[in-house]
């Protein structure tokens, strides 16, 4: 019997009145995982009403009380790491070695971090003549989190942890492609003691998202997704001036200078292109390598890429799993074909892997392109797949100018042993996140966000607190009212 996944509202799974569903399939096998009920008007309204009730209880707790509950949720996540990682693999197609080491653990790290922050939220006191002012950080109300399909449980944690720590309620709308683990997170929050309604999970399509983003009861929207989706949400949010945080697409650059540790730079480039099958928004899919070391860099990349093991995501030895859907796989293969047609040299990979049981899934062998130019589609457009484009550069100014010549500004990386150059280049790169001598390392302590069309606002770090609280100023008079009227 096929499992039917329902929305999680008010501390329990709730059947939708319309009983309209879509299929959730395993991208590695094509097998049906579950049928997922779509939340429409009745379920959205129920979620908002339960969030209003839960918010009254949750916001009235002290930060320390909320922190204790969130810490318990983090412990439960860690205890269930392997179980949740397997569910994540079935939904996303990523290798189990990644899901067990990163996905659930990073979510637990985030909840622990903001559990500690919850009890430290405070305003300031400002002394004046015969008066003083104090400020309060207060919850903003009901927040909506909209997740992406590449890191479902991590993104649900990254959005819910700061929201809940600050005393808000959150309704999390899952991706249609990966709905399973966010609902498990809701179960865990309930088990840890989060009041019913404070964290609801709705499944659905664009209709569900539109109902949430246009409802005046929602105070804030946080999206991880595409630029096109963000523009639609911003238009809907404008009607009631909702706060928004947008974490969007990227076409990031990695700059490798001639004095770099070559092996470390290659490792970073591979992580920044092939981890999670390349389905990471910050990936450095434009790798600019100085002409003096270009050929050695490429030879090393190709040699190591050939050793990557593409296979069953649940096999411990697999390093590259399945892309999220056949539609997405066809899109990635289309970019590979376009790269060759436009004159780039495909040094390795780029074909569908369909031997034996892998034929039922969406597997693509990691691709390495050289002889690329900045006007090629594989260099300009976000592919969101395992496709690396390597480009030559001559000097620092040339590399920076070309790296910045994009409408995106999510991330960038620099590899050099010259720390003066590293800081100088990082300062000039137009990106919200810059790594020096590493790539795609995202500790929860570090603010995460982009600029230009890669979005605005920040997740993680102390910066996230500003996005989930509102500041109230209170003026206290100690003397007489200065009134000019008799």
> DSSP for 54-85?
HHHHHHHS-HHHHHHHHHHHHHHHHHTHHHHH
Write out pLDDT tens, residues 435-465: 999 999 999 999 999 999 999 999 999 999 9
Residue tagged active-site, from 37, 94, 98, 159: 159
Predicted TM-score (pTM) of this structure: 0.96
For the chain, the average pLDDT equals 97
pLDDT at 103: 97
pLDDT at 486: 83
Write out pLDDT tens, residues 401-429: 999 999 999 999 999 999 999 999 999 99
Residue tagged active-site, from 247, 279, 382, 453: 247
Cβ 370 vs Cβ 347: under 8 Å: yes
Stretches in the chain below the pLDDT threshold 50: none
Per DSSP, helices labelled H in 223-315 are 227-238, 262-274, 294-305
pLDDT at 352: 98
Residue tagged active-site, from 110, 157, 281, 372: 281
User: Is 187 a known active-site residue?
Assistant: no
Write out pLDDT tens, residues 121-142: 999 999 999 999 999 999 999 9
Cβ 254 vs Cβ 413: under 8 Å: yes
Nearest to 10 by CA among 32, 43, 35: 43
Cβ 69 vs Cβ 192: under 8 Å: yes
Q: C-alpha distances in angstroms, 137 versus 64, 134, 221, 360?
A: 15, 10, 19, 52
pLDDT at 293: 98
User: Is 281 a known active-site residue?
Assistant: yes
Nearest to 76 by CA among 199, 184, 194, 192: 192
Cα first-last separation, the chain: 82
């Amino acid at each position: 019997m096929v499992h039917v996944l329902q929305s999680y509202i008010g501390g329990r799974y709730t059947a939708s009145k319309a009983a309209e569903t879509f299929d959730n399939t395993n991208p590695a096998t094509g097998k049906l995982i579950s049928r997922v009920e779509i939340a429409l008007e009745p379920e959205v309204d129920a979620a908002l009403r339960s969030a209003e009730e839960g918010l009254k209880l949750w916001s009235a707790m002290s930060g320390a009380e909320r922190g204790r509950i969130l810490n318990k949720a983090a412990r439960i996540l860690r205890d269930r790491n392997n179980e949740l990682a397997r569910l994540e693999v079935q939904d996303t197609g990523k290798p189990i070695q990644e899901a067990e080491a990163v996905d659930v653990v990073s979510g637990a790290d985030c909840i622990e971090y903001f559990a500690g922050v919850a009890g430290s939220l405070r305003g300031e006191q400002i002394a004046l003549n015969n008066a003083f002012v104090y400020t309060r950080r207060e919850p903003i109300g009901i927040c909506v989190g909209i997740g992406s399909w590449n890191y479902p449980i991590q993104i649900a944690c990254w959005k819910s942890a700061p929201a809940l720590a600050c005393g808000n309620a959150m309704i999390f709308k899952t991706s249609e492609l990966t709905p399973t683990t966010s609902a498990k997170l809701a179960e865990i929050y309930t088990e840890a003691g989060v009041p019913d309604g404070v964290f609801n999970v709705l499944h659905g399509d664009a209709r569900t998202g539109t109902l949430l983003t246009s409802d005046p009861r929602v105070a804030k929207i946080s999206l991880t997704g595409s630029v096109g989706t963000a523009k639609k949400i911003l238009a809907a949010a404008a009607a009631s001036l909702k706060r928004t945080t947008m974490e969007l697409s990227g076409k990031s650059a990695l700059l490798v200078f001639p004095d770099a540790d070559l092996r470390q730079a290659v490792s970073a480039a591979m992580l920044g292109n092939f981890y999670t099958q390349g389905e990471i928004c910050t990936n450095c899919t434009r790798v600019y390598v100085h002409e003096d070391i270009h050929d050695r860099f490429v030879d090393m990349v190709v040699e190591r890429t050939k050793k990557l093991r593409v296979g069953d995501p649940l096999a411990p030895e697999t390093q590259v799993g399945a892309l999220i859907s056949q539609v997405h796989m066809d899109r990635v293969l289309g970019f590979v074909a376009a790269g060759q047609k436009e004159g780039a040299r495909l040094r390795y990979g780029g074909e569908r892997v369909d031997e034996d049981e892998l034929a039922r899934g969406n597997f693509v062998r990691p691709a390495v392109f050289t002889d690329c130019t900045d006007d090629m589609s594989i260099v300009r457009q976000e592919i969101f797949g395992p496709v690396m484009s390597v480009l030559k550069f001559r000097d620092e100014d040339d590399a920076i100018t070309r790296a910045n010549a994009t409408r995106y500004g999510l991330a960038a990386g620099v590899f050099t042993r010259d720390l003066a150059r590293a800081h100088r280049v990082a300062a000039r790169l137009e990106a919200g996140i810059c790594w020096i001598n590493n790539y795609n390392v995202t500790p929860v302590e570090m603010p995460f966000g982009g600029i230009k069309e890669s979005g605005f606002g920040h997740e993680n770090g102390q910066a996230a607190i500003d996005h989930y609280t509102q500041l109230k100023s209170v003026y206290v008079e100690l003397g007489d009212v200065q009134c000019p009227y008799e």
